Amino acid sequence: MLRPYSMPGGALHAPLWTPYALYGQIDYIYGWPAYNAHNGFTAAQGTLNVVETVGYAAYLWILWRYGKQDGSGGRGAPRPGIAGVLGKTRKVNGRWAAWAVLLGFGVSLMTVSKTVLYCKWNTLFKQDWRWPS
């Protein structure tokens, strides 16, 4: 979302995005060749990442705000003594539970869809596709 400022030579590149300079040289879709070719894939990907992150944050907010602590642990649940507040299960009831389920399902479906898109993009374009000169 911060391209070209977060790319090498940009004002925001150092220190946070410095490790990505090498990645942009290996995978051109994240580097200068894609940016100069006006390829919109990374902008679309960044926008979807923001929407997805906001959705997951809203889900966690509903769980934290309207959930009540539940004593059930289940198999593999961390002990509260080790994980603290994060080791306690929470249960949401009523209308907010419906919103949480809908939001959780929608955002996780978005995550799966993006994964399929990345795999499709790689198989369709990465093998024989060349950047325009």
Residue 133 within a domain: no
Q: Is 13 left (phi over 0), alpha (psi -120 to 50) or beta?
A: alpha
> How far apart are alpha carbons 14 and 30 in whole angstroms?
17
Residue 18 within a domain: yes
Number of domains making up the chain: 2
- pTM listed for this prediction: 0.71
Is pLDDT of 59 > 90?
yes
Sort 22 into a burial class: Cβ within 10 Å, 0-12 / 13-18 / 19+: exposed
Residue 8 within a domain: yes
16 φ, ψ to 5°? -65, -45
Same domain, 45 and 110: yes
Tell me which DSSP letter residue 84 carries.
G
Same domain, 27 and 66: no
pLDDT band per the 50, 70, 90 thresholds, residue 123: low
Could you report the per-residue pLDDT of 34-49, keeping only the tens digit for each? 888 888 888 888 888 9
Q: What is the dihedral of CA 26, 131, 44, 109, to 10 degrees?
A: -70
Percent of the chain's residues with pLDDT above 90: 28
